[in-house]
Amino acid sequence: MATRGFNVRKQTGFTAIAVLCFAMLYLPIILLVAYSFNAGESIAVWEGFSWRWYVSAWQNETVQDATIRSVIIATCASLIATSAAVLAALATTRVKPWRGQTVAFALINQPLMVPEIVTAVALLIFFAMIKVWTGYTGLWYLIIAHSAFCIPFAYMPIRARLQGMDLSLEQAGADLYGTPFKVFRHITLPQLFPGILAGAMLAFVISLDDVVITEFVKSAGQDTLPTYMLGQLRRVITPEINAISTALLAVSVLMVTAFFFLNRTRK
């Protein structure tokens, strides 16, 4: 007599638990988006539909400055982190196994394993020493901090793409007397580009949404959009925060969706 395989969906209570989990996960987000269109100033009492708070956020000069600063930091951090991630991925997948390779892999992914608050405090102390020595207090501290934190996020899709690529084309290029650089430029890089783009977008989103490291590293007058929102939550909460959060959510969803499609294995 044939035995039927285990099916978790047929277990008692599975549907109820799944619905409850999705409700707890997405209901707050749905309410956040809905109340961003509230005509009144309350974040809990619906007073009618309005675009008021989106217009308010769009015309708010502080929000504009924080948004521009966030985009600049995220763009620079994404470019730096992705460049470093490409080199790291090549060094851990396109070479013969070398002593210390496992340690290097662990170090690259260290920001994922260490609590973010620990990384933030370490960067605060390190950059404070440099500020005392140099007197420089510009944005580059935030860019460097975000770049270091985003490297493993860019590294993962790039390394996965490299591991899934067929080596036969690169070997054929080498057999035809192609130099390592030419083989990389004309064969490896075009195939790797979707992974690079996916890693860059993921690093951009991570940098754009970061609060903890930014809050510890930034100097006066260097608020990003997330830290500005955190500061507003400590003062007066209005649906303007909902509108800004909804805009950030939309950007993040679009970027992550694009990352998903780019990171799929192509036939």
pLDDT along the chain (267 residues), means of 10: 63 81 88 87 83 88 90 94 91 78 80 87 91 88 92 90 78 75 80 87 89 90 88 80 88 78 58
Q: Are 68 and 139 in contact (CB under 8 A)?
A: no
Q: Are 170 and 224 in contact (CB under 8 A)?
A: no
φ, ψ of residue 40 to 5 degrees: the values are: -90, -175
Q: Are 187 and 170 in contact (CB under 8 A)?
A: yes
**HSE toward the beta carbon, residue 171, CA cutoff 13 A:** 5
Q: Are 217 and 124 in contact (CB under 8 A)?
A: yes
Give burial (CB, 10 Å; 0-12/13-18/19+) of 60: middle
pLDDT at 3: 54
- 140 is written with which tokens? 């580059």
Q: What is the CATH number of domain 61-263?
A: 1.10.3720.10
pLDDT at 262: 65
pLDDT at 50: 87
pLDDT at 16: 84
Q: What is the DSSP string of 207-219?
A: HHH--HHHHHH--
Using CA atoms, how far apart are residues 200 and 150, in angstroms rounded to an integer? 9
pLDDT at 1: 46
